[in-house]
């Protein structure tokens, strides 16, 4: 299976995620955890809480459209697995997010930056699980 690494796009994306996390903490006092933001959007505690979540999610969704307007083309998205694998993977990630009390953006970006022991442990668990999963799918199952 061929994979492609895009260092410039990855660097820019990482910088934007980091900047977003810093700005959210500075202006809202909140952790940038994407699943927590989505959950709070679906079940908001107040209209003010809902508004910033809606704005952030709208930015996530409209970013490819902005890229289209700037560059003239949509970002290339090549998913080298079946739809069934995506559904199963999404389900497993949902379980992990629930039991891990957060996702890679909340724990991996914000929690580790705050040197949170819980987030460091969660991120190590994410990375080990990912490595094992990739090995099993690519080398034992031969890809799905």
Sign of CA dihedral 98, 100, 105, 111: positive
Mind listing the pLDDT tens digit for each residue in 77-120?
Answer: 778 778 888 898 889 888 888 888 888 888 888 888 889 999 99
135 neighbors 144 (Cβ within 8 angstroms): no
Sequence-distant (6+) residues with CB within 8 A of 137 are 85, 143, 144
pTM to 2 decimals? Answer: 0.74
**Which helix or strand (DSSP H or E) is residue 36 part of?**
helix 34-42
Confidence class for position 1, pLDDT limits 50, 70, 90:
low
* CA distance between the termini of the chain: 11
Mind listing the pLDDT tens digit for each residue in 35-48?
Answer: 889 988 999 888 88
């Amino acid at each position: 299976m061929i994979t492609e690494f895009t260092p410039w796009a990855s660097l820019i994306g990482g910088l934007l995620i980091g900047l977003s996390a810093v700005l959210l903490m500075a202006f809202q006092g909140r952790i940038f955890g994407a699943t927590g933001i989505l959950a709070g959007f679906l079940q908001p505690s107040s209209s003010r809480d809902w508004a910033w979540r809606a704005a952030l999610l709208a930015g996530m969704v409209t970013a490819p459209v902005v890229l289209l307007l700037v560059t003239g083309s949509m970002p290339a998205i090549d998913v080298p697995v079946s739809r069934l694998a995506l559904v199963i993977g999404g389900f497993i990630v949902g379980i992990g997010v629930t039991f891990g009390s957060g996702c890679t953006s909340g724990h991996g970006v914000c929690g580790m930056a705050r040197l949170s022991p819980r987030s460091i442990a969660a991120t190590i668990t994410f990375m080990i699980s990912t490595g094992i999963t990739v090995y099993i799918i690519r080398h034992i199952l031969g890809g799905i």
